[in-house]
Amino acid sequence: MTDYLPFARPLIDEETIAGVAEVLRSGWITSGPQVKAFEAALSRLCGGRAVRSFSSGTAALEVGLRLAGIGAGHEVITTPLSWVATANVVLEVGARPVFVDVDPRTRNIDLDKIQAAITPATRALIPVDLAGLPVDRDRLYAISRQNNLRVIEDAAQSFGARWRGRALGTFGDLIAFSFHANKNITTAEGGALVLPEDNLISLCEKLRLQGVARFGEDGMEVDVLGGKWNLTDVAARLGLGQLPHLQEFTDRRRDLARRYFERWDSSLDCELPAEDFENSNWHMFQVVLSKRADRARFIAAMREQGIGVGVHYPAMHLFALYRALGWRAGQFPHAERIGRSIATLPLYPAMTEADVSRVCEAARKALS
């Protein structure tokens, strides 16, 4: 029987599994020495900048907004084509998400349309690097400086990606990463926030854990409202085992993406992703199906051939929660069209070139 190919699968070596077992045996399984070591390793990858870990990339995004002073009465501009957490965290801090349509080629927020969406209430931008393809950081930060806006980068999908030779996280304002199970590097669940200034560390740590500050042997104070978003040592040890493989995993993903471009049948009339092998970490390989294709039938037909297909993502402004806030169909035609037809194909380091060929052949059969 042919093995089933999911759209994502983490690659965890035996040394890391043994290391996680050691943490479990140690008795210290919540935030402790492994978390500190993981944050130090992340800081080295981010050029020495302060990095704090979280229980999820979503938590990192929310704390990033809070550190930027975003709250009631403020607006935050973002893309409608992302995991819904990107906008949900804006609502969580009491602000209003304002959507801008995407560039149909990159599928990222259309930077040309941001200026028209800025109002006196706008305080921040949340760009999303869909599938690991970075938003143009030069133009993004030019816009933010011109309009005195904070930037909270939703780099949940782009850990290991680069912009013009510089690794994401080594520059910029607040940068939120995710280490969810389907990401390029995983802690099973988890995330991290890169801070622009060391003087934000104390507040960041308080917001992460109920607003608590400790001092002396028994002193404790709470002066801000925090959440419960700390990473466990179990998760951190998993991350420590993954980090040394970051470049290896990224290179492998790029090789597999090249194979997709080589093997994909162009007569299927699908839109392939932007062919960027300099900046993208190739977190996902996504095709936009032709207008003639029925995505649900395509997913079912691929599953029958032993291949998993994901949907990342429906245009979030069409969800009931956001329709209730006044958003409606027709406002962002590119995001809506892509959201209706986008399909994520299998891409993970353990795949072979033969696996990619198999996916391409299955897609040809499913779409013919």
Question: Is-catalytic flag, 183?
Answer: yes
* Torsion sign over Cα 188, 287, 259, 137: negative
Q: Collapse the DSSP code of 278 into the 3-class scheme (helix H, G, I; strand E, B; otherwise coil) and give the result.
A: coil
Question: 285-288 and 342-345 as β-strands: parallel, antiparallel, unpaired?
Answer: antiparallel
Distance separating alpha carbons of residues 110 and 91, to the nearest angstrom: 22
- Containing 30, the helix (H) or strand (E) segment is none
User: H/E/C letters for each residue in 328-346?
Assistant: CCCCCHHHHHHHHHEEEEC
Distance separating alpha carbons of residues 212 and 194, to the nearest angstrom: 21
Please name the residue ranges forming H helices in the chain.
14-26, 33-45, 57-67, 85-92, 114-117, 137-147, 201-208, 233-242, 246-263, 295-304, 320-323, 333-341, 353-367
Contacts of 84 (CB under 8 A, 6+ apart): 313, 316, 319
Q: Are 161 and 134 in contact (CB under 8 A)?
A: yes
As a whole number of Å, the end-to-end CA separation of the chain is: 24
Dihedrals φ, ψ of 160, to 5°? 95, -10
Residues in the chain: 368
Contacts of 183 (CB under 8 A, 6+ apart): 156, 157, 159, 283
Catalytic annotation, pick one of 36, 113, 183, 206: 183
Six-digit token string for 286: 């996504």
Q: Are 189 and 180 in contact (CB under 8 A)?
A: yes
Instruction: Write out the catalytic residue numbers.
Output: 183
